[in-house]
């Protein structure tokens, strides 16, 4: 490598092949350093994680993102996919409290559980994906029947 060339230009100092999860102590450190006003790059160097991990963790904390889907959110995702909108990022923007990778994985789950998407009804989605929920929540969801009408355009 030439002497006048910098080693880490615009990259985090974490090696690209190392994938580590954030420990609870590191999460607390991130929250503390963010409240002190440090930027994402500085925080990532201090805790030795990628800037993407730090940025996404802070986004989850600030936006209250949780990785569990309500019945309404599943029906919204199902309607978008049936209408041909399979971009996880665009669907996630409409849901606002879900990240793009959560929506992508939920779409994959739909395709795994329901191979023939064109014959899928709302009640089947609720019955299969939300079978462990309380009866009142299921009754509320069944009252949404017909709210998300799907065109029969043969996309699936």
Which residues lie closer than 8 Å to 65 by C-beta, 6 or more apart? Answer: 59, 97, 98, 99, 102
- What pLDDT, in 10s, does the model give residues 8-24? 555 555 555 456 788 88
Residue-wise pLDDT tens digits, 120-132: 777 887 788 887 7
- For the stretch 87-126, pLDDT in tens is 999 999 888 788 888 999 999 988 888 888 777 777 887 7
| 80 close to 151: Cβ distance less than 8 angstroms | no
Domain boundaries, given as residue ranges, for the chain: 24-63, 71-142
* pTM check: above 0.85: no
């Amino acid at each position: 490598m030439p002497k006048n060339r910098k080693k880490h230009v615009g990259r985090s100092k974490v090696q690209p092949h190392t994938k580590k999860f954030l420990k609870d102590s590191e999460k607390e450190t991130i929250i503390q350093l963010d409240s002190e006003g440090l930027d994402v790059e500085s925080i990532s160097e201090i805790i030795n994680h990628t800037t993407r991990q730090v940025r996404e963790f802070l986004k989850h904390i600030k936006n209250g993102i949780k990785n569990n889907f309500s019945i309404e959110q599943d029906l919204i995702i199902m309607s978008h996919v049936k209408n041909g909108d399979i971009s996880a990022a665009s669907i996630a923007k409409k849901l606002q409290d879900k990240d793009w990778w959560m929506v992508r994985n939920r779409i994959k789950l739909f395709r795994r559980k329901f191979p023939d998407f064109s014959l899928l009804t709302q009640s089947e989605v609720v019955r299969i994906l939300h079978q462990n929920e309380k009866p009142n929540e299921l009754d509320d969801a069944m009252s949404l029947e017909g709210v998300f009408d799907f065109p029969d355009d043969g996309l699936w």
